[in-house]
Amino acid sequence: MPAGELRLIRRRIRSVQSTRKITKAMELIAASRIMKAEQRVAASRPYALRMAKVMANLAEATGGVVDHPLLEVREETRSAAVLVIAADRGLCGAYNANVLKEAERALRELGVPERSVVAVGRKAKGYFSYRGVEVEVTFEGITDTPRYGDAKEVAGYLLRQYLDGEIDRVELVYTEFENAARQVVRRVQLLPIDTSVLTEAGPRVGRAQGGIDVSDTADQSTADTVFEPDPADILGELLPRGVESRVYSALLDSSASEHAERRRAMKSATDNADDLIRALTLAGNKARQAAITTEILEVVGGAEALAAAK
């Protein structure tokens, strides 16, 4: 019995060692991708903030009276959609669970007859499809390394649905990347655009990631700026691009958050594997010693039996 137990323990040790190699490799890959994702986030935020500032200044120049469908709050909201940015893969801790839970809460609180989901990532599609929630469209394969073209495709679909009257309201649920140790799930209104919160990013943009500090240049636009053509026309052209920029920033934030969560989860898994290997090695040593002791006792017992027989 001890010999069989020892073989079982050794088999488990080899199995855990194989798993540890995988988790360690995934940890190192995620760690290498975090830096690149962090640089992309830092590089995009000044542009996103400047775009928001320009639109806010244009809205102020028009006197707050702008006739544009993307700014119009519809009297009767019949249908609404939630843009959920999750991951295509798992093994990233609570990243998917947190954003999907917030998206589910957003769907409950919308309070409209028709509610649907626009999913970015296979995990969001699987989660809501399993629960019987309508998933209008799914964008897959873009969460690892998002490009501006991906954001343009996602935003373009939402803009077409909104302008055609298929959707009256769109909310965005994603994970904001603050630093490698902290990521926060955010829920914001994407459509219609609320110009009063265009500058919500604040002067912190780029600081945590070593990017450009735009706090000194954020409010340099003056009230006597001359716009050509009319500010309302310029704003009308910039609003769709502002939506694209917002979606792109959310995609980059989510990508960096996913890599950070995966690195943390894989490091925890690797540490747990190390602890389990040590515990199994100790148990194997005890089983081996027990087997040796049993064999010695059997030899001694046999010798004593032979001596007594003589």
Q: Annotated catalytic sites, by residue?
A: 92
Token pair of 119, please?
Answer: 């999913």
Number of Cβ within 10 Å of residue 296's Cβ equals 10
**SS3 per-residue string spanning 193-205:** CCHHHCCCCCCCC
Q: In 3D, which of 155, 131, 129, 132 has the Cα closest to residue 142?
A: 155
d(CA 100, CA 273): 29
Query: Which residues pair with residue 176 across a beta bridge?
Result: 184
Distance CA 171, CA 188 (A): 6
Give the C-alpha separation, 189 to 198, whole Å: 11
